[in-house]
Amino acid sequence: MTNLFELDEAALSELLIGWGEQRFRSKQIWKWMYEKGATSFDDMSDLPKALREKLKSEASLGSLQLSTEQISADGTVKRLYRLTDGQLIESVLMSYRDKRRTACISSQAGCAMGCVFCATGQMGFARHLTATEIFEQAQRFSQDLRSRGERLSNVVLMGMGEPFHNYDPVLEAVRRLMADLGIGARHITISTVGLVPEIRRFAEEGLQVGLAISLHETKDVARSALLPVNQRWPIGELIEACRYYQERTHRRVTFEWALIAGTNDIEPTAHQLGRLLRGLRCHVNLIPLNPTDDYDGSPTEDAGAFIDALAEHGVPATLRVRRGIDIDAGCGQLKSAVQKKERRPPQ
């Protein structure tokens, strides 16, 4: 069974010609897949019935199997997909009043980085996703939005996994997001916990794709306790890599700061962060942490003092709108909940 989303236009054309079809049929199918958002071969009404039946028996429109879907009161959609080998991954669609429709997608099944406040980090690493598995998560949301006259406007690779640990498939998927879904580079963001060599490599790609750094602490000892990767590439090396990225791309860097109650949410820490980032063209994205078993998020009303302290150092910051708090919207939470249910012995 051939997954058509694994094929580029030339390969799709070659497949159909091998079936004895005319070349123009591939353009029709391509249009149904990427412009009209077809969910089945039966939707492709301008294809001969015989070709539609051939496609149903020999090909598929994707490989992700929807396992669970949750919809928040604020409209956030959280999906759990089962892959062909049984692995589970998550994707989220967030809708905003300004018409933005943002997909948060995964790059790995699980994660090897071991960040202690992240549900995904605590479940361990299973495998890398293919470029098609990464792309298809965004494509599914794009397909659904098109069916109701909307469009996917933004994609962030902030779901399960460390994107730069799966560098080549992630970059291939990003290029497909731009080419096949028409999402501009400046509307795509890759988030990393700080793989310094890959940040420098990314700076040389010639893309205007955004870079977000999961920082969360300003001192090496404290950051290493939260993000073990810091033991390999400490904060000083990470900030230098960010400066290099900025020199090469002239893009602003986003620093993600999960506000963990009683850990990194106090005003003196904000001043330390301001001094660390002074002179960098950057923005700090304060994130109300979705609670896990061991960590609670700070009250959002406490963020004002943190933002004001950063402003004293010329570092702009905003508080991210909290999405999907009434569902398992935090990274890894839905997968964890489903796995616990599946492991539960029958009553």
Place of tokens 């591939």: 26
Q: What is the mean pLDDT of the chain?
A: 90
pLDDT of residue 121: 80
Q: How far apart are the first and last CA of the chain?
A: 38
In one-letter notation, the amino acid at residue 123 is: M
The DSSP H or E segment spanning 288 is strand 282-288
pLDDT of residue 297: 52
Active-site residue (options: 90, 133, 217, 256): 90
Q: What is the mean pLDDT of residues 218-224?
A: 96
Q: How confident is the model at residue 337 (pLDDT cuts 50, 70, 90)?
A: low
Q: What is the mean pLDDT of residues 332-338?
A: 53
Please say if 150 is a catalytic residue. no
Strand, coil or helix: what is 311? Answer: helix
Please say if 35 is a catalytic residue. no
| 54-86 confidence digits (pLDDT tens) | 999 999 999 999 999 999 988 999 999 999 999
Q: How confident is the model at residue 10 (pLDDT cuts 50, 70, 90)?
A: very high
pLDDT of residue 289: 72
- Domains identified in the chain and CATH numbers: 2-60 (1.10.150.530), 65-343 (3.20.20.70)
| 236-287 confidence digits (pLDDT tens) | 999 999 999 999 999 999 999 998 887 888 899 999 999 999 999 999 999 8
pTM for the whole thing? 0.90
Active-site residue (options: 118, 242, 282, 331): 331
pLDDT of residue 113: 93
pLDDT of residue 347: 55
Q: For the chain, give the percent of residues with pLDDT over 70.
A: 89
The CA-atom distances, in angstroms, between 52 and each of 29, 39, 57, 274 are 10, 13, 9, 59
| 153-190 confidence digits (pLDDT tens) | 999 999 999 999 999 999 999 999 999 999 999 999 99
In Å, how far from its chain's centre is CA 190? 7
Q: What is the mean pLDDT of residues 102-109?
A: 97
**For residue 319, pLDDT beyond 80:** yes
Q: How confident is the model at residue 341 (pLDDT cuts 50, 70, 90)?
A: low
**For residue 301, pLDDT beyond 70:** no
pLDDT of residue 288: 81
Are the beta carbons of 103 and 138 closer than 8 angstroms? Answer: yes
pLDDT of residue 56: 96
